[in-house]
Amino acid sequence: MEEISFLKTLISYAYHLDLVCYDRLENPSSDNNPLLNILLTEENLVHKALVQGLATDKPFILSNQINLTWFVAIEKENNELKNVFFLGPVYLSDPDPVPISHYVQQLAISFSNRIELENYLKNIPVTPILSLLQNGMMLHYTLTKEKIALHQILAENRSEEKIPSHHSENSPNHSAWLIESQIMQLVEEGNSNFREKLSELSLNRNVGHLSNNDSLRQVKNMILASVVLVSRAAIRGGLSPAIAYPLSDYYIRSTEKCQTISELTNINNIMMEDFVNRVHQTKESPIKNKYLLIVRDYIDSHLDKPLSVEELAQLVNYSPYYLTRKFKKEFNIDIIHYIQQARLAYSLDLIRYSQMSIQDISQQLYFSSPSYFSKLFKEYYQCTPNTYRKDYQLPPNK
């Protein structure tokens, strides 16, 4: 336990995260934060974690009714559940103080504990999901000496949706599982008719139901899991992991930045189309030079990052001159112009689907100035970015 004690001190000091432990009988460790004991026992989260821990040795995420989120790690001994560890809690987005106060007032605790707990809740950090997961992966490794990938954690959160054999084929859960399987098949095939197929699966109706009844955080969690499943299906379909994993990380970051259900729905649609098209191109492309494909896909996956010919050449161990010459011969376009066109094409989605200003879009895509971005945009699309937004931006969900 010395390693756990050291990790607890390190995480607390560096990231302001708590770490608490419970044995298989739900008894708290003596050094647990007593306020966390209140939070975790009042909503029966310790029991939920132990029940899930009996079925898996992989970590998972738990949230409570005010969207406090914990990373939960499992410790087993001789395949028997020994302890569960809760890392957190964190807020994944800015909290509303009103629901927090209302939540605390409903708890069956003393007045002094309510005051102390409410102050504690107001000082919990807002932490990106990736930061929580990365610290959780360190915790899991410390407990098990097993290295675990990000997609394994998120996939474990989907495990409750797996369909037991006794469920009928007409049950809602079985139908959802069949739809998810068919979607992954479309991605794996790189099916160019995937939009038509999705419509046949009545996905839009399911998303609408989710939007009406689930919080923004829950929808984000669903999209995050979807990104992971889709990226894995794309890899099975032939997309290089060197492209799929950075692309997956990009869409995870984009999902976390979304502020509305409408933005989440749009980013999910863009993500699906992106992966399907890349798999389709991989299957259909006559290009023989796999290194040029790696460079092109790297560009497409890093449009919001600085890109230079020198950096791209190092990626495949080419000289800048040789890469420039081979790229133009293979794709019939200069590499610098390809980057420019790809960024302009991506800007269409940002203008249409996000609430970012034109200036912010220009900066995010590394154009030298908003005026230069607008000039190039008009050359390619015969209208200004502002005109395009006025004509094509979707109204936000309310």
- What DSSP string runs through 236-272? HTT--HHHHHHHHHHHHHHHHH--SHHHHHHHHHHHH
What is the per-residue pLDDT for 153? Answer: 65
pLDDT of 82 reads 93
Average pLDDT, the chain: 80
Alpha-carbon gap, residue 340 to 37, rounded angstroms: 54
When pLDDT is averaged across residues 337-355 and rounded to a whole number, the result is 83
Would you state the structure tokens that stand for residue 184, as one six-digit string? 């992954």
Q: Read off the pLDDT band of 359 (50, 70, 90).
A: very high
pLDDT for the residue 170: 45
pLDDT digits (tens, 9 = 90+) for 14-45: 778 899 999 999 999 999 999 999 989 888 89
Where is pLDDT greater, at 238 or 174?
Answer: 238
Cβ contact 54:33 at 8 Å: no
Q: How confident is the model at residue 149 (pLDDT cuts 50, 70, 90)?
A: low
In this model, does residue 368 exceed pLDDT 80?
yes
Average confidence (pLDDT) over 57-83:
89
All structural domains of the chain, each given as residue ranges with its CATH number in brackets, are 2-147 (3.30.450), 162-285 (no CATH), 287-398 (1.10.10.60)
Tokens matching residue 286: 């006559």
Task: Flag the least confident range among 178-182, 204-208, 280-284, 370-374.
Answer: 204-208
β-pairing verdict for 68-77 and 60-63: antiparallel
pLDDT of residue 137: 86
Give me the mean pLDDT over the 219-231 stretch. Answer: 81
User: Is a pLDDT exceeding 60 seen at residue 209?
Assistant: no
* Predicted pLDDT at 176: 47
Look at residue 323 and tell me whether its pLDDT is greater than 80: yes
259-311 tens-digit pLDDT: 887 788 888 888 888 899 888 887 876 566 778 888 988 888 888 889 999 99
Confidence band, pLDDT 50/70/90 cuts, at residue 168: very low
pLDDT given at position 206? 40
What percentage of the chain exceeds 90 in pLDDT? 25
Q: Residue 362 above 80 pLDDT?
A: yes
Which residues, 6 or more positions from 312, have their beta carbon under 8 angstroms from its beta carbon?
A: 295, 298, 299, 323, 335
Considering the entire predicted model, what is its pTM?
A: 0.48
pLDDT band at 352 (very low <50, low <70, confident <90, very high): confident
According to DSSP, the β-strands at 68-77 and 80-91 are: antiparallel
Question: With 90 as the cut, is the pLDDT of residue 193 above it?
Answer: no
Q: Is the pLDDT of residue 134 over 70?
A: yes
Crossing angle between the packed helical segments 261-284 and 216-236, to the nearest 10 degrees: 0
* 91-116 tens-digit pLDDT: 877 777 888 888 888 888 888 888 99
Asked if 279 and 189 touch (Cβ cutoff 8 Å), the reply is yes
**Across residues 312-326, what is the average pLDDT?**
93
